[in-house]
Amino acid sequence: MTKGAAGGRPKPGGGPKPNGWPNSSGRPKRSGRPNSSGRPNSSGRPAARLELDVHDLASTGEGIGRDGTGAAVFVRGALPGERVLASLNERARSPLRANLLRVLHASEARVAPPCAHADRCGGCDLMHLEPSTRRSWLERMLLEQLARSLRSVATLPAPTWHTPTQALGYRSRARLRIEADGKRARVGFSEAMSHRTVAVESCVVLDDALRPALAELAALFAACRGAGEARVALGAGGRRVYDVEFDGELDGALLGRIEQAREHIAGAEVRLSGATAPLSVGDARCVSIAADGLPLLAPSGGFAQASAVGGAALARAVAEGAGDAERAVELFAGSGALTVLLARHVGSLVAVEADRDAATSLADNLHARGLFAVKVRVEDANAFAFARNLPLVVLDPPRAGAPGAVRNIAAARARRVVYVSCNAATLGRDLAVLAGAGYDIDTLALFDLFPQTSHLETVAVLSPRAHAAKGRDGAQ
């Protein structure tokens, strides 16, 4: 696995800070300049335009300043240490949000985005931030969130960094928006903090094989009327696959046009709002290369990591953290991105997945590898009942976390837990439950799977504290 930025893992808040970035206490440096134009007007509301001194970044990647009343204002595209001119978004009252108009004084950490759409597109919210500074901020945000959740219940280990994906061209999956008026279609991404579509001709973070999807979808849906979302990925033979949810009227010749493009399109499913079944052409299942070097299938529109390379690196780290075990349960198994490695190191493995289509793909992926001993259970992972003292539990829940699962894990006294998370807040909440039940956090691994963004993947490995384990063993 590839380590983090050059020079080793950044320490929490460590290294030289660009002017105005928070110090080790978390307090902003004083600029010495009051916000002169952010005072309320006669109506009591802040002025439409205001100058702000930005002192920190929010977990959303927005810069945080304060208006003349002291209220926090969130500005997308602004960085700590900057003075900016912004226009207040009257629709956002709690918290206040403003649109960046001009940077009056730039941070040393600001870089020129390699994309012409970065100021409007909601996809890459930190493309304007220097990479090593962005990683330092991501680490600080995670550790601060975990510290708030855990309080004094557990000690956090020093995290290790992994940056397995390249900065551009890394996405092998994406979600695009489509708006069509019967004559032409606009295809792109959601505008930041909005449901409006930013039409994009080319996206620099998409894999080369996916970039033609923007123009291709625009041509396919030009004669339709309405709007929708398309999940795009790679399928059989490295060709593109589409899973589209559309609200409106489809052109009668749409499926014929998709069929004519089968040289580049492996398959597509189009779900029209109100219809009972999708329209289907070819095989729309996603195909990526798993951590074991073999193809991994996922159902059309099903979950998988945005980067196949990054997902494989994550799976290898999970397998390493899990080690060898005679028995194990994997929760939220999906189509088996983690399972295909875990099954090779575990004597008896149960993989739990609630989505039936994903569970079918999981079984297919296991059987294609000759891993017939794994038991696939189509159940709610948050309600799964564990055997007491199970040697290993691995879980990779959605952003909502796994509140029911961690309670059950703690009650069953699993001897090792590997938790994969994409959300620091729910990770902190769930780790606090385990820590309160007598678990130590042994390792924290951070994965920069979404360069240019405020998103972070975390792998935490936990085990019962030595004194707690002895007490439990003596009671049995």
Cα gap 304→323, rounded to integer Å: 23
Where in the sequence numbering do the catalytic residues fall? Answer: 422
Query: What are the angstrom distances between the C-alpha of 470 and each of 415, 416, 464, 476?
Result: 12, 15, 9, 10
Question: Would you list the DSSP string of 429-459?
Answer: HHHHHHHHTTEEEEEEEEE--STTSS--EEE
Tokens of 385: 């009942």
* 424-436 vs 403-412: helix crossing angle, rounded to 10: 20
Which residues lie across from 88 on neighbouring strands?
98
Q: Are the beta carbons of 100 and 49 closer than 8 angstroms?
A: no
Distances in Å between the Cα of 18 and the Cα atoms of 31, 59, 139, 363, 428 are 13, 19, 16, 50, 28
Contacts of 430 (CB under 8 A, 6+ apart): 401, 402, 403, 406, 419, 421
Nearest to 398 by CA among 422, 381, 370: 422
Residues 400 and 429 sit within 8 Å (Cβ to Cβ) = no
Cα–Cα distance, 300 to 279 (Å, whole number): 12
Neighbours of 202 (CB within 10 A): 12
Counting Cα atoms < 13 Å in the Cβ hemisphere of 236 gives 11
Beta strand extents in 191-294 (DSSP E only): 197-199, 225-234, 240-249, 265-272, 279-282, 286-289
Chain-centroid distance of CA 34 in Å reads 37
Closest residue by Cα to residue 449 from 150, 138, 80: 138
Query: What is the three-class DSSP state of 396?
Result: coil
- Going from the C-alpha of 286 to that of each of 172, 187, 198, 238, 268, the distances in angstroms are 10, 21, 26, 10, 10
Query: Residue 114: which of 63, 78, 166, 76 has the closest Cα?
Result: 166
Could you identify the residue written with the tokens 């807040």? 425
Beta-bridged to residue 293, according to DSSP, are none
